[in-house]
A and B are shown apart, each in its own frame.
Chain A
Amino acid sequence: MPEWLQKPWPWYVAGPLIGLMVPFLLLIGNKTLGISSSLRHFCAACLPAKIPFFHYDWKKESWNLFFVTGVLGGGFLAATFLGNPEPIVVHEKLLTELQGYGITDHSNLMPMELFNWPALATLKGFILMIVGGFLVGFGTRYAGGCTSGHSIMGLSNLQLGSLVATICFMTGGFIMANLILPFILQL
């Protein structure tokens, strides 16, 4: 296994490759890049109830479900065959800050001390994973897209709505990470 494949890929390699997903999906079948809609298709397929928002022919959008299944598989392949044996390189300041909350393990992409099954039953874990996940699902649909659909696809198509959404994604993230998350991590 060549070393450069195992090491984390730099932004100037990964970014353009992600950008190429836009024309690639358009050319192979007129599909616009976007992930969060898959969550809506799950609702439409499994529990549409009597909600008009979930009554549409989701099977027509099933390409999106194949796509996200692929993303899951891609995560598996990358971790299994292209895995980086080294711990994740994390900025010193962040490491120090996290140490203050007792988070010292950065051997994985996710901090295992925060994201594990038993932690789900703790207040901190519940807020981070369940409340956080809920906000991701509700927020992306309310905004009409996520990082891929708005920030990559929408901005590539020079859409004002996508610019507004992207600015708000970032603003929300800044507020949470700097002003609110410290209190959650202290729990």
Chain B
Amino acid sequence: MSNPIHETNTDFETRSLDAVCVNSSELVHPWWFNLKYLATGLLFGIILTKAEVISWFRIQEMFRLQSFHMFGVIGSAVAVGAFSVYIIKKFDIRTIYGEKIDLHDRPFNKGQIIGGLMFGFGWAMTGACPGPLFAQIGTGATVVVATLFSAIAGTWVYGLVREKLPH
């Protein structure tokens, strides 16, 4: 990295470790700039809910191959996402602030297998991946707050034992 900011930002390694959604922006904005992510999240939550991908029933249908719906949603989302990323890379499209868009590689590690299977189990049990957990609570299924806290606890315990786990 030629940008000196990257070299002094030693915190970045810890932050980006095992996290896909890192903040790649080096710009510092006042807090209320984050309201646009609140608005984007609102939109995302509405789409997830109206597509019923937050429904325990839809998840059961997916894993029993009884419905194409979930596969259609994920498949077409990836198609549109991949095409967008291709266009962004090909034409070197910048952010609205003129920053270069920064995408991180996700190389293989064993955690993707073991952790992936564990998450798959949890997904079929709760009918929710992390995004839908929040949306489910919003729709009034208040008991999902307990599931969310348990998921936070799971993340915490992972942090506690991660040095001992194969990666």
Measuring CB to CB, which residues of chain A are less than 8 angstroms from any residue of chain B?
Answer: 5, 8-40, 42-43, 47, 49, 51-57, 60-64, 66-79, 82, 88, 90-91, 93-94, 106, 108-112, 114-117, 119-120, 127-162, 164-178, 180-181, 184
The interface residues of chain A, by DSSP majority, are classed as: helix
Q: Are B119 and A22 in contact (CB under 8 A)?
A: no
Q: Which residues of B have CB within 8 Å of A151?
A: 74, 78
Are B159 and A14 within 8 A (Cβ)?
no
Measured in the bound complex, the distance between the Cα atoms of B61 and A108 in whole Å is: 15
Count B-side interface residues using an 8 Å CB cutoff.
129
Cβ B14 vs Cβ A133 within 8 A: no
**B116–A109 CB distance below 8 A:** no
10 closest A-B pairs by beta carbon, nearest first, are A172-B120, A74-B45, A70-B41, A75-B138, A34-B21, A142-B115, A168-B116, A137-B154, A19-B80, A139-B119
| A74 to B139 CA separation, bound complex (whole angstroms) | 8
CB atoms of B57 and A109 under 8 A apart: yes
Q: Report the number of A-B residue pairs with Cβ-Cβ less than 8 Å.
A: 560
Instruction: Considering the complex, give the chain A residue whose CB is closest to the CB of B29.
Output: A29
Contact between A18 and B77 (Cβ–Cβ < 8 Å)? yes
CB distance from B125 to the nearest CB of A (A): 3
Whether A128 contacts B125 in the complex (CB less than 8 A), given A94-B57, A142-B158, comes out as yes
- B-side binding surface: helix, strand, loop or mixed? helix
Residue of A nearest to B74 (CB): A151
Q: Which residue of chain A has its CB nearest to the CB of B129?
A: A147
Residues on A with beta carbons closer than 8 Å to the beta carbon of B60: 94, 177
On chain A, the residues within 8 Å of B123 by CB distance are: 136, 147, 169, 172-173, 176
- The verdict on A111 contacting B56 (CB below 8 Å), with A148-B131, A160-B108 known, is yes
